[in-house]
Amino acid sequence: MKKSYLPVCLLAISFVIFLSGCMSQKASQPEWIQLFNGKDLEGWTVKVKGYELGENFGNTFRVEDGLLKVRYDQYENFGERFAHLFYKDTFSHYIIRAEYRFVGEQCPGGPGWAFRNSGIMIHGQLAESMEKDQDFPVSIEVQLLGGDGTSPRSTANLCTPGTNVVMNDKLVLDHCINSSSKTYHGDQWVTVEVEVHGGEMIRHIVNGDTVMVYSQPQLDDRDPNYYKLLPATNDKILHRGTISLQGESHPCDFRKVELLVLEE
């Protein structure tokens, strides 16, 4: 009796096709880019108010024990030295995810509103375009706040240095708007994600919960940097920009800063 090997061949071919599909699907899945490598500040540049770009006054930003730290132990007084740590590339459509916590005591001389206060600046101006004595980059700030142990205090709020946004179909001119997040007291780690779709929509997410959504991030024509940053097209909508981490006088840690590029 002559044996037929056709069913076996068909089964083998089907298995190969299945494996190829799985491998192709795995290869096509986007990967998270680790902006912070856990070892040093490679890819990042410091800008401290009153100092030249790249001068890390007081070793404000440093990496120790695998953490990206903001510290003030070499400051006698804060002296309005607002600081920002800029990543080297600009981005348009992406999700940025960071794990952060506040620790220790606020630097002497730090403003009251900066207690347990930091931020992730998105759609920001280039670090090279900042004035030497400029407080904050023109950007959209995802404000990170910690609780005082008693009172409600949301995090992943919105602040708008030199910018505006649209919420509920209305242009918002307020500088800061609170999110709907919970309060995170003490030194606990918090995960914040920011989903950015160019000049269209931005979403703030805290520990998996969406806490704020807005659209049309744009330059504010009331800001002194407006005409310097307005492109030749006169389009004031912010479609792309820098990412920076903030130092506002309270020590904090970042143990992860990663980014997923989205399709436009």
* CATH number of the domain encompassing residue 193: 2.60.120.560
Residue 59 lies in a domain: yes
**The pLDDT of residue 38:** 97
Q: Which pLDDT value is given to residue 16?
A: 45
Q: Which residues does 59 contact at the CB level (< 8 Å), separation at least 6?
A: 71, 74
- 16 DSSP 8-state letter: H
Token output for 36: 């912070």
With a cut of 50, list the residues of the chain below it in pLDDT: 1-2, 6, 8-13, 16-17, 19, 22-24
Determine the 3-state secondary structure of 22 from DSSP: helix
In this structure, is residue 25 part of a structural domain?
no
CA dist 170 and 164 (Å) reads: 11
In a domain, 81, yes or no: yes
| C-alpha to C-alpha distance for 3 and 107, rounded to whole angstroms | 84
Look at residue 13 and tell me if it is in a domain: no
- Which residues, 6+ apart, have CB-to-CB distance to 181 below 8 Å? 154, 155, 156, 204, 206, 209, 211
pLDDT tens per residue, range 145-173: 999 999 999 999 999 999 999 999 999 99
**pTM attached to this predicted model:** 0.88
Q: Distances in Å between the alpha carbon of 137 and those of 61, 132, 159?
A: 17, 11, 12
* Residues contacting 30, CB < 8 A, separation 6+: 260, 261, 262
Quickly tell me which residue has 């001389």 as its tokens: 109
Q: Which of 175-206 are b and which e, b meaning 16 or more Cβ less than 10 Å from the residue's Cβ?
A: eebbbebbebeeeeebebbbbbbbbeebbbbb
pLDDT of residue 133: 97
User: What is the number of residues in the chain?
Assistant: 264
Instruction: With residue 24 as reference, give the H or E element that holds it.
Output: helix 6-28
| Boundaries of domain holding 63 | 33-261
Number of domains in the chain: 1
